[in-house]
Structure 1
Amino acid sequence: MVEGQVRALTSRTERQGESDHSTVWTFRVERYDEAGDRISLIPVEMRGYRFEGAIHDGDWVRAGGRRKGGTLHVNRLENLTTGASVRAKGISKPVMIIACVMIALIAAFIAWNFYGILFEAPDVPSDYPSDFP
């Protein structure tokens, strides 16, 4: 958990596949001691398809997450300046469930068609001789 002031906030969009994209916020949280001296800079990254809430340079925030490669990755934080909760939103669960069901249906359709091609007997004309010596 870190608490401090937001500095150098940037926002960028990253493509993920043909049509998907996500937004990435990067910033530093500057921490200060009791005397007001800066004691550390912590790089922070938030990723999502969209965000609820906002932060700006100079806002005081509290955030918790996991460190990866020296950067703190967070999904949510508290903006202590405004009192707002800020969250990075991913794909909603209903959309994810619908996508999984659609993929399963398409896979089942493809498998059913391959089964028919591989294992069904070919159509034999009625006048085809069936007596073999």
Structure 2
Amino acid sequence: MKLSPLESKIFGKVCYGFRRDKNKRIEIVEQEAEIVREIFSLCLSGNSLEKIQEHLRTQGIPSPSGRAVWSRDVLNKLLNNYKYTFGIIDHATYFAAEEMKSSRCRNPNRNIEDDKEWNEQVNLNYYGPTR
């Protein structure tokens, strides 16, 4: 699958699983796309970033930079990248992964709905306790 010339132009930086052809159109690199699908599948199965890292390492799948171990940051960015809905995964998979990750968020403040309470907590975290 290739994106249209217009879609390719506005696509921006090419991420893992995609490349530009000689006409600068975005196309899917199927071997990498399979790895992206596997990462999303592992996430949706409840695996942590660390477990996904270990799985990729034991399978001998190098990171996009060619390293033996994928960093948690790279995995997190991949799982947060909406561009993968352009032919590699569907929207439902992307949003299900987003929901899964947010439910496991370690930020204790993520459930604060009151703006005043949120602002107080942000200031406390940023500035520390006031005297």
Fold equivalence (TM over 0.5): no
- In our comparison, the structure showing a higher alpha carbon Rg is 1
TM-score bin, normalised by smaller chain: under 0.3
* Structure with the bigger percentage of helix: 2
- Give the TM-score normalised by structure 2: 0.26
- Give the TM-score normalised by structure 1: 0.25
